[in-house]
Amino acid sequence: MNYSMVRFVLFRLLTVLGGLLILPLLVAIIYREYTAAQIFFLVAISCLVLGVVGAHKKPLNKVIYAREGFFITAAAWIIMSIVGAVPFFLTGTIPDFVDAVFETVSGFTTTGGSILTSVDSMAKSVQFWRTFTHWVGGMGVLVFLIAVVPMADGYSMHLMRAESPGPVVGKIVPKVKDTAKILYLIYFAITVVETVCLMISGLGLYEAVTISFSTAGTGGFAITDSGIGGYSTLTQGIITVFMALCGVNFTVYYFLIQRKPKEAFAIDEVKFYFGVMLLSAFLIGLNVYMAGIVNNPGMSFHHALFTVASVMTTTGFGTLDFDKWPMFSKTLLMGLALVGACAGSTGGGFKFSRALIAVRNARNELNFLVHPKAVKRVFMDGHTLDGTTVKSVSAYLGLYVITMVASILVVSLDNFDYATTVTSVIATLNNIGPGLSMVGPTGNYSQFSYLSKFVLMFDMLAGRLELLPMFIMLKPGTWKK
Amino acid sequence: MRIIVVGCGNVGMTLTQQLSKEGHNITVIEEKSSVVQAVVNNLDVLGIVGNGASYSIMKDAGIESADLMIAVTNSDELNLLCCLIAKKAGNCHTIARVRNPVYKKEINFIKEELGLSLVINPEEAAAVEAGRLLKLPSATKIETFARGRAELVRLVIDDNSRLRDLALRDIPSDLKKQVIIAVVSRGNDVFIPDGNFIIRSGDEITIIGPSSNTTSFFKKLGLPAVKVHSSIIIGGGGTGYYLAKQLIALGIKVTIFEKDSSRCKELTDLLPQALIINGDGTDKDMLLEEGVMSTESFVALTNLDEENIMLSMYVKSINPKAKLITKVHRVNYGEIIGSLNIGSVLYPKNITADRIVQFVRGKNASQDSNIETLYKMNDDRVEALEFIVRQGSPVVGKPLVDLKLKKGILIACISHYGEIISPSGESVIRDGDSVIVVTTRTGLKDINDILEN
């Protein structure tokens, strides 16, 4: 383990975090929330000073390997969550520090599950910070670090790979730094376009910006207690579109900018993603309409599409309380939640590409039983995949199931009903936010014990970082020099 | 620069490493996915698995916007095809590795017709370097500048040397005037020495000066400065052939050991004056029989590094006077191999990579100067560069003492209309001169880069 490089990157990260905290500080000054402004100023300055001092001495040996990459990523996200919680705690918005950390973890991991019962009375700057954590966490803070700070040179790929979602994290241009820049530019552009669209639909700047942060990061923190339900159908429609767009592999946008539509549409998972989304929305819309919950078939489809997009991209916004929907709809939604969004997007979950690889591999295995000598390989995006990718997907699936089952077991100690226990873990591990029953769209996570909260925090981080970094950090061998 | 490298074998890997270190945007195309995986994991480059001669793969790699395509696969024909396709698809500069001696004769025609910017033959380049060493056997490395008029020569200071324990300023003027001592390497450290620097026994010093002076410098030091008279070459591959051809032209007696009998027959046709032995070079008895005890030089050019090193060590032990040259493919263990004390080591990969890096830097440079030659030394920590100075450069017209040079830069030689000057503080650089700079600041692209801003 190259500890001096770990220290260097982590302090650099602290500096960046300090810089990011200046935004809510400005918001606080604009809205004349001077107590909050003081707190944001204090935290930002401490981060900046500490970060600059700590990263002053540059490491002699800049070589890092996958191990350091995973370790730095996991440590970075834990530090970020703790530091990010300080403003919530000091402003008194969340009086319990563990709850404040839970809320921040939920923010950075773009989960959007809250421990707050009401958000209407929150200070505007704190509210802003709460949604801004989604935006930062969506594309990843280390990717941001790589894009803006000159750092580990050729070795940053290990950081990028550890933080970015998907079974195969590739670069879109030869240099990591340029790749990170392109991704952030696309991300930034999507956010700006959404903000403008929302303002056209009648929202104020503040509302439009915060909702865009939540949507682009596929987070799900809303700024009112009624969620997105209180907005016009047009606004909801715009949010649906942008949620769906942010769940798409960002490489597609790069190809489109490069005027290579053929390459963009050759990506299998994106086709399946949209196909599954529309089909599920149709089925749920029909189911909800038949059950008589929504009387207008058009509106029924509108709400179904919104909810399906929200759950599949693991955003977790709600227009209606889907906990009251028929069993078929609820089950289908939770099933979609397990699969999640596309690799290389800001969404969470198991990822469509992994699911496709797993299914195609299973199909091949079945085929072997019928034709034992047949040679079959897994195809994706028009290429055959090498064995290691398929193997790593199987391993990931195993780890994913084990994590889920173990977490459910621990959370069950709280003795809540079955739906709450299971869906709280599904909703956090896949970074969705709302589950069913007590943690449904109208509920929250405040009633869980500390133990459960820690487990769910772990699940959120593990889900966002795709398991490996968190587990590698826990593995004792990692810490050896 | 956007560069596409096709083929990631030995040369491709070294090249990619070098160019990526210099900050270029590199895409590597290679057929073996495990190799691509390894490159992408270790270097900040983009990897594509596939055949580089395929148009669609080239398009994936971004040939349309590339500035340079370098084809260094194992096959000459594939390399040339890659260049042809790259030229038609992207109209970029192209560089090909071509090794087959058959194409060598027609290389200018091929270059012209396919629009290649550079053709390199690593085996021939290695042979040229080996040939130079056999002309001045006491040197461990010889490179040439200014079309051969100036030389960079490296030698080891032994216990009996006149230079031992002398500070540079105290070196007798008959020696000092002739050449400049540009680099000293001691153990793992590399220095660009100043006047107070004291030379110790065991140091390896690099001198730069006019070619005629380097030879007389050797003579004055009491080191042999005449070419060898006989040479045993182990391995009759490409390098062996090119080397033997050169040596025969110089009148040196050449013995080649080659395992493969059909290759032996080819070699007898190609090199009628050489003695071709069909046998394993590692066979001790056969070596002794063919006069390894009395040969003046021994060149190990088999394809196995271990075998080459072992052979050289063996010859060193039984015939310590012989000049040894060892070919080594793996570049990563330079320090260890250097410490074995087996004379000169040839790294064909580095020779090729240097030539290409030189080309790339030259393309990157501004108009008022360009890189004529580039050599990397001491595990790439030191570079010797030759720049042609064009009009208007700020280094022109001032005595060297008045130029504010960056640290770690030494102006080692100035060539003025073919006259080679070992410069002093009063020397002046003029338009059109070529200047040889030795530096620990790797990555200079332009003569103006040597100045402090």
Whether A174 and B43 lie within 8 Å, measured CB to CB: no
By the CB < 8 Å criterion, does A120 face chain B? no
By the CB < 8 Å criterion, does A431 face chain B? no
Domain assignment of residue B171, yes or no:
no
Give the minimum alpha-carbon distance from A391 to chain B in angstroms, rounded to a whole number: 15
- B interface residues, A as partner, C-beta within 8 Å: 2, 20, 25-27, 33, 40-46
pLDDT value, residue B408: 84
| pLDDT surpasses 80 at B370 | no
Closest-CA residue in chain A for B28?
A174
**Mean predicted confidence (pLDDT) in B433-450:** 84
By Cβ distance, the residue of A66, A154, A173 closest to B46 is A173
- Of all residues in chain B, what percent carry a pLDDT higher than 90? 24
Domain assignment of residue B63, yes or no:
yes
pLDDT value, residue B383: 87
Interface A–B counts its CB contacts (< 8 A) at 27
Closest-CA residue in chain A for B33?
A386
Domain assignment of residue B182, yes or no:
no
ipTM for the predicted complex comes to 0.76
pLDDT digits 0-9 by tens, A358-383: 999 999 889 888 888 888 888 888 77
By Cβ distance, the residue of A66, A153, A386 closest to B44 is A153
Domain range holding B260? 230-346
Domain assignment of residue B155, yes or no:
no
- Per the structure, the count of domains in chain B is 3
**Bridge pairing between strands B419-421 and B409-416:** antiparallel
**Mean predicted confidence (pLDDT) in A13-27:** 93
Could you give the C-alpha distances from B14 to A244, B245, B282, in angstroms and in order? Answer: 44, 28, 29
Please give the single-letter amino acid code of residue A51.
G
Is residue B254 located within the same domain as residue B323? yes
Report d(CA A127, CA A24) in Å as an integer: 9
Whether A174 and B41 lie within 8 Å, measured CB to CB: no
Considering only CB atoms, which chain B residues are within 8 Å of A171? Answer: 40, 46
Q: Which of A260-264, A270-274, B144-148, B402-406 has the highest mean pLDDT?
A: A270-274
CB A444 within 8 A of CB A113: yes
Closest-CA residue in chain B for A159?
B41
Give the minimum alpha-carbon distance from A155 to chain B in angstroms, rounded to a whole number: 7
Q: Which of A209, A117, A183 is nearest to A447 (CA)?
A: A117
Question: CA geometry: angle at B297 spanning B295 and B300, to 5°?
Answer: 115
Last residue of a domain, one of B301, B319, B346: B346
Report d(CA A383, CA A376) in Å as an integer: 13
Is residue B252 located within the same domain as residue B330? yes
Is residue B403 located within the same domain as residue B331? no
Give the minimum alpha-carbon distance from A66 to chain B in angstroms, rounded to a whole number: 9
Where does residue A266 rank: exposed (0-12), middle (13-18), buried (19+ CB within 10 A)?
A: middle
Is residue B317 located within the same domain as residue B422? no
Closest-CA residue in chain A for B46?
A174
Is residue B318 located within the same domain as residue B418? no
Instruction: Report helix angle A141-148 to A176-200, nearest 10.
Output: 120
Instruction: Report helix angle A205-216 to A176-200, nearest 10.
Output: 140
**Mean predicted confidence (pLDDT) in B140-167:** 85
Closest-CA residue in chain A for B47?
A174
Considering only CB atoms, which chain B residues are within 8 Å of A152? Answer: none
Is residue B33 located within the same domain as residue B101? yes
CB B119 within 8 A of CB B176: no
By the CB < 8 Å criterion, does A385 face chain B? no
pLDDT value, residue B259: 92
Considering only CB atoms, which chain B residues are within 8 Å of A174? Answer: 2, 25-27, 44-46
Whether B44 and A175 lie within 8 Å, measured CB to CB: yes
Closest-CA residue in chain A for B27?
A174
Last residue of a domain, one of B64, B90, B120: B120
By the CB < 8 Å criterion, does A387 face chain B? no
By the CB < 8 Å criterion, does A225 face chain B? no
Give the minimum alpha-carbon distance from B45 to chain A in angstroms, rounded to a whole number: 5
pLDDT value, residue B337: 84
Whether B44 and A178 lie within 8 Å, measured CB to CB: no
Which residue of A63, A157, A384 is the best one to mutate when testing the B interface, meaning the one whose CB has the most B CBs within 10 A?
Answer: A157
Whether A173 and B25 lie within 8 Å, measured CB to CB: yes
User: Which pLDDT band holds residue A179 (cuts at 50, 70, 90)?
Assistant: confident
Q: What is the DSSP string of B267-289?
A: HHHH-TTSEEEES-TT-HHHHHH
Considering only CB atoms, which chain A residues are within 8 Å of B43? Answer: 154
Domain assignment of residue B211, yes or no:
no
User: Which pLDDT band holds residue B188 (cuts at 50, 70, 90)?
Assistant: confident
Whether B44 and A156 lie within 8 Å, measured CB to CB: yes
- CATH number where B105 lies: 3.40.50.720
Closest-CA residue in chain B for A262?
B60
Which residue of B17, B22, B44, B69 is the best one to mutate when testing the A interface, meaning the one whose CB has the most A CBs within 10 A?
Answer: B44
Is residue B336 located within the same domain as residue B238? yes
Is residue B10 located within the same domain as residue B113? yes
Last residue of a domain, one of B297, B319, B346: B346
Domain assignment of residue B114, yes or no:
yes
User: Which pLDDT band holds residue B390 (cuts at 50, 70, 90)?
Assistant: confident
Is residue B305 located within the same domain as residue B403? no
pLDDT value, residue A150: 67
Whether B40 and A156 lie within 8 Å, measured CB to CB: no
Find how far residue B332's CA is from the centre of its chain. 16
Closest-CA residue in chain B for A386?
B33
* Sign of the alpha-carbon dihedral angle for B292, B293, B296, B298: positive
By the CB < 8 Å criterion, does A62 face chain B? no
By the CB < 8 Å criterion, does A153 face chain B? yes
How many other C-beta atoms lie within 10 A of the C-beta of residue A286? 16
Is residue B430 located within the same domain as residue B331? no
**Bridge pairing between strands B46-49 and B25-30:** parallel
pLDDT digits 0-9 by tens, B262-283: 999 999 998 999 999 998 888 8
Could you give the C-alpha distances from A152 to A54, A65, A157, B1, in angstroms and in order? Answer: 16, 11, 9, 21
By Cβ distance, the residue of B25, B33, B42 closest to A174 is B25
Report d(CA B60, CA B301) in Å as an integer: 39
| pLDDT surpasses 70 at B384 | yes
Closest-CA residue in chain B for A263?
B60
Is residue B50 located within the same domain as residue B95? yes
Top pLDDT among B170 and A298 is at A298
- CATH number where B368 lies: 3.30.70.1450
Whether B46 and A174 lie within 8 Å, measured CB to CB: yes
**Mean predicted confidence (pLDDT) in A45-66:** 88
**Mean predicted confidence (pLDDT) in A388-394:** 87
Look over chain B and give the mean of its residue pLDDT values, rounded to a whole number: 86
Is residue B241 located within the same domain as residue B340? yes
pLDDT value, residue A408: 95
Domain assignment of residue B208, yes or no:
no
By the CB < 8 Å criterion, does A156 face chain B? yes
Domain assignment of residue B33, yes or no:
yes
CB A309 within 8 A of CB A247: yes
